[in-house]
């Protein structure tokens, strides 16, 4: 069956909810207005429980079906990005320097639409836990909610997430079992040499030279240490050193990103980076220090949960519009923290020919709401069965 008629009826109102959120974006954990709006709507829908303040500003809604059964979690993210919007849309951000450039406003609206439909029908056995999360954009809001007792206070057997994808046609879905998004880690490399006059380099230990060798050498980690079948990224993205053209500086600092689709490759990258940075310093007589900060883990979809998510997508979209073996991405998602603790799956949904995520011209496509919300409902009713 295609998208649900009742969801199609709700979709125009959900689009208004989405545009209201878009006009009033909030960053990281400071999503106070957004969380208040979400909680108010969930209470208005008649959910059995609505709890705020989980993971600082997260909202959890609990809906029980017509009879006891399993429990599944459904997650939407709520935070925006520190980007100045250039869409020119009537519903453009009213907050200077902040916009919903990743579609979290749409994710929230779709899950609210699904919550409304499910609360009206309760055509399932068991419990649905709606998780509205802050701070996906770099703050690790998922981990904060978990540390605040999310799964102890609201037990679930599985958890699912959805994200829009620019370039994928409206009404299409993409998913894969196993790694679908990468881990993302940050590195900072401090190099201390011996500064001096640029005309007498023999009296110095040039940290720029050391840094240049490090930039070149770290590329060999992916090219010569990581299995060519595996995927990995090591990118040095900043290089700061020096203040004048005739002075060899005393120190230099490099920063960058490290990404992998396999936890074992992630470990390998970290170990080799320490070795390369140390060796480069020893080669030139400089002191080097690598600070390696782990960020979001690999997003690993459970095989069974992936099958359930793909089946629900086929019910909504049709066989030809579901790619169940999509190419993984080197971007990262803090939904990965949930998947470390519970089986589940993360799926992509088409946003049509929009600007890319995190671009100032990006906007969530309201035509996608009916498809995403219908997928949520189908997933619940298929996994939990009739009440």
Catalytic positions: 79, 136
**Distance between CA 212 and CA 241 in Å, rounded?**
11
CA-CA-CA-CA torsion for 293, 183, 152, 44, nearest 10 degrees?
110
262: Cα within 13 Å, side-chain hemisphere: 11
**Distance between CA 22 and CA 60 in Å, rounded?**
21
Residue 371 DSSP SS3: helix
Structure tokens at 103: 């579609």
**Distance between CA 34 and CA 31 in Å, rounded?**
5
**Distance between CA 198 and CA 271 in Å, rounded?**
35
CB neighbour list of residue 75: distance below 8 Å, 6 or more residues apart: 111, 131, 132, 133, 142, 159, 160, 161, 335, 338
Q: What is the DSSP letter of 5?
A: H
Give the strand pairing for 299-301 and 178-181: antiparallel
Phi-psi bin for 95: left (phi > 0), alpha (psi -120 to 50), beta?
beta
Residue 257 DSSP SS3: strand
Structure tokens at 352: 């049509």
83: Cα within 13 Å, side-chain hemisphere: 20
**Diameter of the chain measured on Cα atoms:** 82
Residues forming beta bridges with residue 99, ordered by sequence position: 81
Q: Determine whether 70 is exposed, middle or buried from the number of CB atoms within 10 Å of its CB (0-12, 13-18, 19+).
A: middle
Give the strand pairing for 322-323 and 173-174: parallel
Best CA proximity match to 346, nearest among 230, 184, 174:
174
Best CA proximity match to 294, nearest among 259, 265, 329:
259
């Amino acid at each position: 069956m295609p998208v649900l008629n009742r969801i199609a009826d709700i979709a125009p109102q959900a689009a208004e909810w989405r545009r209201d959120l878009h006009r009033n974006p909030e960053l990281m954990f400071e999503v106070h207005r957004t969380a208040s709006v979400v909680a108010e709507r969930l209470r208005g829908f008649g959910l059995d429980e609505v709890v705020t303040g989980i993971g600082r500003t997260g909202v959890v809604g609990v809906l029980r079906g017509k009879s006891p059964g399993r429990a599944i979690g459904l997650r939407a993210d709520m935070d925006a990005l520190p980007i100045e919007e250039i869409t020119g849309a009537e519903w453009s951000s009213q907050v200077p320097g902040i916009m919903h450039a990743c579609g979290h406003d749409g994710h929230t609206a779709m899950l609210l639409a699904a919550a409304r439909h499910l609360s009206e029908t309760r055509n399932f056995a068991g419990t649905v836990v709606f998780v509205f999360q802050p701070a996906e954009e770099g703050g690790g809001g998922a981990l904060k909610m978990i540390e605040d007792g999310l799964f102890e206070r609201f037990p679930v057997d599985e958890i699912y997430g959805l994200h829009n994808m620019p370039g994928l046609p409206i009404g299409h879905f993409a998913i894969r079992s196993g790694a679908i998004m990468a881990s993302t880690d940050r590195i900072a490399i401090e190099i201390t040499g011996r500064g001096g006059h640029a005309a007498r380099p023999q009296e110095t230990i040039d940290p720029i030279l050391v840094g240049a060798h490090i930039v070149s050498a770290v590329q060999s980690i992916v090219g010569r240490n990581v299995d060519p079948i595996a995927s990995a990224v090591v990118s040095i993205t900043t290089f700061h050193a020096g203040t004048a053209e005739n002075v060899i500086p005393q120190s230099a600092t490099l920063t960058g990103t490290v990404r992998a689709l396999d936890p074992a490759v992630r470990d390998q990258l970290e170990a080799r980076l320490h070795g390369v940075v140390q060796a480069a310093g020893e080669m030139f007589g400089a002191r080097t220090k690598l600070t390696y900060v782990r960020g979001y883990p690999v997003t690993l979809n459970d095989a069974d949960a992936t099958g359930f998510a793909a089946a629900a997508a086929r019910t909504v979209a049709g066989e030809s519009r579901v790619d169940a073996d999509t190419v993984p991405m080197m971007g990262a998602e803090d939904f990965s923290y949930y998947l470390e603790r519970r089986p589940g799956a993360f799926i992509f949904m088409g946003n049509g020919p929009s600007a890319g995520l995190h671009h100032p011209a990006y906007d969530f496509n309201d035509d996608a709401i009916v498809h995403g919300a219908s997928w949520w409902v189908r997933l619940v009713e298929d996994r939990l069965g009739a009440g």
